[in-house]
Structure 1
């Protein structure tokens, strides 16, 4: 049992970019989404009883005492965006759940059914951590006007922009404000193709709803933006400041969720049939080999600032906003150490304005900096952890290694050493394997898999980015297709060998390995192969026990792509990389963690390997969370997760014994120094 409880706080604060000091504006767990609505006022949401949401406006000069209610909506709304219109009113757009007939949905007040039965007659019955119902995400709009010094609603209240269209936005389960944008000309948004089954296809399109006043009682039907030859995910639509252009990203494949996003431009919102691709090539692969994510227009609309991952860091890049001018691949703009999370203009009216950049790193959980793209300089404005010093961490603990992979390519890994590292000593190896598999370990902060947590236990943490990893070009990433236990496994073997031969301060005889999701799959695969005997203990979080069970997942396009077909058309492709076929070789102590709300990899994928380990008499433990999904997010559960994981690896690596010996020596020394 864990005692004490966790105290959670939520604050809205104002950061002064001149002094770097912050001022408390709102201290309320129910308050969220602060949004500027003038030079000295901000709007925010406050969740209330019976599923209601109140929209409030407060003044910066006198926070709290001047807050007033704009409206209370009888539903949960979120993802607000506002835009000043030419007539002096302010467009207001948010997301909220809609009933099948297009009305606001409020589960808190809805009539409860007498039975809990759910009946389905088509694919896609559950997603991420919930069984699907009839209600869908939708976008709602209205306008605000200022009367007698206060903002009030105009028109007919919230209007469902997607009513009757069969479209859903933001796209579940993680869609948010990045799925839509607004301008004085209307609304653009991303939605799944309603004619394709979302379990089998990734296709999401960009749509436009022209709006003049945002008070239209009957919205025009959404119009699709055409992108010939590109049929995959669409993301990050952003209007230019002039309101006539839209930048966004689009993937090519409609069954590959990790395909390369192409940077795209809609030059004129008046003609949705003409879009342009940046860095396009005749072979369709594109001249820029990285994956654009966040997009921001410069104040004068002449440039795009784009985030994209490269070599375990998310960098900031500048691209001419006209694809015809983007002849050369972009260069990186200097930012603070680590990975960029978000970018904002400091002053939209100033064509030479600087950027406010939010970033994190392996030692810093929150950093704000001012970046001047024209001078390629960055000045750190504020760091919540004082660049890691609050945690006793520093950049001197972070390193990189590069080694030859299974083929003619290099593999990169991040290295994190303890803060009290002494190169004359030897530290057991903590070998982390990332999920995805199209993902990567990044130089960025995490509350779940944080290398510093393991390093501070007394390990040298090595986090390889083998075949399948993002940020190293599409060839390395795509190389995992049909190779789940092949090239990636060989890359990890090469990583271990490199550590043995080139890192004398690492004790590989006391190594432990941990992984989640695909990383959990690889832990189970390693168990049945020679590399598994190199480790004293293994930890598998929400991993794959048998690839033949991949069709119990919800997004079937994932196994169809990675295993090169359906299980009935290419069963051999699934069997080839099945960890369950090698359980006769399992021998290493293993901790298994799995959660009941993980519909991506159902709980049986954790129960089965635990049953095998127990039946074979191999030291093993199962930790199950009934109220978590693919991630462990609740604070008390996270504490238990860390206690269980650290206790397991410390026991088998010898760190637990070393820690106890240090404590006993400290007690003896304390007694020796005390006077008799």
Structure 2
């Protein structure tokens, strides 16, 4: 029986089961995944570890344990996973023949928080294992639970970085650890873990979001990505690829990592992947060492024993590369003849195929057929030439499918929401529009209508502005900015991808450099005008606009511009109030690139697009949201905007989260976020929402949260 939500509300969004990418077995018959579910009744999260039968699409529970994560296969029957406890981590082995029964055993108990587990069957029958964990300056495993606590909380720094994303940096750094599993009497044991980076200035995975994509292992050793230790990480994006040759994964003293040279490319390095033969490595690297969103160029190291000869795919004389899209994740075909990569195109994240040799890649990659939506993860399916794909869409929060590149087919295996039906959502509510931008180019936007849409009625406009700014709205699921939440309140939601957006070629993306409030703003004006002229079912006189990060900046910029007077209400989440103060961010290479210089070197470039210069025109009601652990855009940016609005007498509201970063991730906080946002925009757009706030004795309390009205 399929349960269906009567209305897709924030509670439904946040309590819906969330599935991890599924990991298929070597023979392609089964897949392992986890499902986490938050309950607003118990205020707790439960986690299930499940096994999927790929042929039937049916799954069953293996365990229910909140501490379990990261399943990996050892063979078609046996698998490993991690279980955390008290600052430590157990590596546990089990099999499908008797899961959770007599076979279940600890392979090792590690006195540290371990993650990003990878394994590789070796020719001698042993299993190579690699993972990441924090290391002390001495190269030992770090466990905060057992660390001696200082008497003072003071921190002293003498160089950049001092903090990153949501944490103040310490002397401990992430490292890659390796070891070998041996099987005896039916049980596995771990030889121990060795720090592959000990004695170096290198660290991996690269924070704050680095993971298994930052390293890979093969019979010959491991490759990994690290920040270049010779440049300042706050000023430069430069990360390098290194190789550690290993005769055995039991080596207690690994050789010094060897730099893999990539002449002409000095930016981020990403997604190194060994070929199945273990002799080649494919990876990506950017050119610009101060541009975090530069195009990754696809590279091949054809012989791991000669790290000086890296080949470029689609090489051009100017060094830009002829393929205009941005390759990210990489998978080798079974016979190593083909590479599959993901790259965005026009609001979708797609899979592409190309020959694995740059010399044979004379044509640009071919897009592989996948199910509707955006791909978040993909892997080889057994020995066949098929791919097992994890994706989502605007109406479906998780879909497992099988793609056959040779026959150009894609078949759904399992949809977590029955392709939207569980949420009462339908693909018929989704649409795309294209309109003329500020220059000689077209701009794309995604459209989502209410599920009870009637073309003869008029609906208020919900105008969503994405962050980045080098990012894009995708036909994919989100628990933070989900267009369906707004559509089901009774809005037509339009999510434009203006200048600066990824997935439309580098000319459009790079057009935002030095133009933060210029071309992107004019594109948004053109989009608003297009809606009014070509979408008769939209009532633009009842419009609201919302944005986060760069989208929050644009909300504040719009406030001081003519477009700001066309909205009934604005919502700014973790946005920028004053451009010159962007030097309080953690990654200084970001403003240096986007505003074309340092603050003292190009002050005029910073001030040109500064929203604070136009506060005299601020007049539209605005909800300001900010979090105190946001070190990319510190909380003072939100406080400044709110203070200006209040001083000017503009109806405004401030929502602050002391325990969140650039994103609101905790379910109870997210529920308050949604209620505040919907309550605010619905009031000014005249939309009847089901949430009603009631004031008593000068303050409001909802789920233990204090509200302080004027």
What SS is found at the alignment partner of 1:414?
Answer: strand
CA distance in 2, matches of 1:355, 1:474: 28
TM-score where L is the length of structure 1: 0.96
Q: Counterpart of 1:42?
A: 79
Give per-residue Cα distances to partners, 1:86-115, cap 9 Å, x unaligned.
111100100000000101000111000000
| Separation (CA, whole Å) in 2 of partners of 1:110 and 1:535 | 53
Tell me how far 1:346 sits from its aligned partner. 1.2
Q: Determine helix, strand or coil for the equivalent of 1:284.
A: coil
Could you list the per-position Cα deviations for residues 191-228 of structure 1 after superposition, in whole angstroms to 9, with x for gaps in the alignment? 00000000000000000000121000100100010100
1:489 is displaced (CA, Å) by 0.3
Residues 429-440 of structure 1 aligned to structure 2 (within 5 Å): 429-440=461-472
Q: Secondary structure at the match of 1:591?
A: strand
Per the alignment, residue 410 of structure 1 pairs with 442
Structure 1 counterpart SS, 2:493: strand
Q: Which residue of 1 aligns with 2:555?
A: 523
Shift, 1:39, TM fit: 1.5
**1:511-534 deviation digits (Å, cap 9, x = unpaired):** 000000000000000000000000
Which residues in structure 2 correspond to 1:76-475 (within 5 Å)? 76-154=113-191, 157-347=192-382, 350=383, 352-475=384-507
CA distance in 2, matches of 1:460, 1:153: 56
Conservation of the 8 A alpha-carbon contact between 2:385 and 2:406: no
Distance across 2 between alignment mates of 1:219 and 1:123: 30
Counterparts of 2:210 and 2:453, CA distance in 1: 41
**8 Å CA contact retained: 1:235, 1:249:** yes
Match of 2:514 among 471, 482, 506: 482
Checking the alignment, whether the CA contact within 8 Å between 2:489 and 2:689 is kept in structure 1 is no
Matched, 1:58 2:94: yes
- 2:648 counterpart of 1:613: no
Residues 523 and 226 of structure 1: CA distance in aligned 2, closer, same or farther (over 3 Å):
same
Instruction: Return the offset for 1:165.
Output: 1.0
* Alpha-carbon distance in 1 for matches of 2:691, 2:183: 64
Partners of 2:675 and 2:691 within 8 A in 1: no
- In the alignment, the residues of structure 2 paired with residue 136 and residue 38 of structure 1 have an alpha-carbon distance, to the nearest angstrom, of 33
Residue 26 of structure 1 and its aligned partner are, at CA, apart by 1.8
Distance in 1 between the 2:505 and 2:59 partners? 40
* Residues 647 and 656, structure 1, Cα contact 8 Å, conserved in 2: no
- What's 2:64 paired with? 27
SS of 1:471's partner is coil
SS in 2 for 1:475: helix
- CA apart distance, 1:6: 2.9
In 2, Cα distance between equivalents of 1:658 and 1:274 = 63
Query: C-alpha distance in 1, partners of 2:589/2:48?
Result: 40
> Shift of the alpha carbon at 1:659?
9.4
SS for the counterpart of 1:412 is strand
TM-score (norm 2): 0.91
Deviations 1:419-475 (A, max 9, x none): 010000000000000000000000000000000000000000000000000000000
Q: Deviations over 1:549-573 (max 9, x none)?
A: 0000010000000000000110000
> Where does the alignment leave 5 or more consecutive residues of structure 2 unmatched?
1-10, 12-39, 693-710
Q: State the match for 1:663 in structure 2.
A: none
8 Å CA contact 1:99–1:136 kept in 2: the answer is yes
Q: Cα distance 1:240–1:212, how it changes in 2: closer, same or farther (>3 A)?
A: same
Post-superposition Cα deviations, 1:214-273, rounded to whole Å, max 9, x if no partner, equal 000100100010100000000000000000000000000000000000011000001000
User: How far is the alpha carbon of 1:61 from its aligned partner?
Assistant: 2.3
Distance 1:112 1:38 in 2: 43
Give the CA deviation at 1:52.
1.2
Q: Are 1:565 and 2:633 matched, yes or no?
A: no
Deviation of residue 7 (structure 1)?
3.1
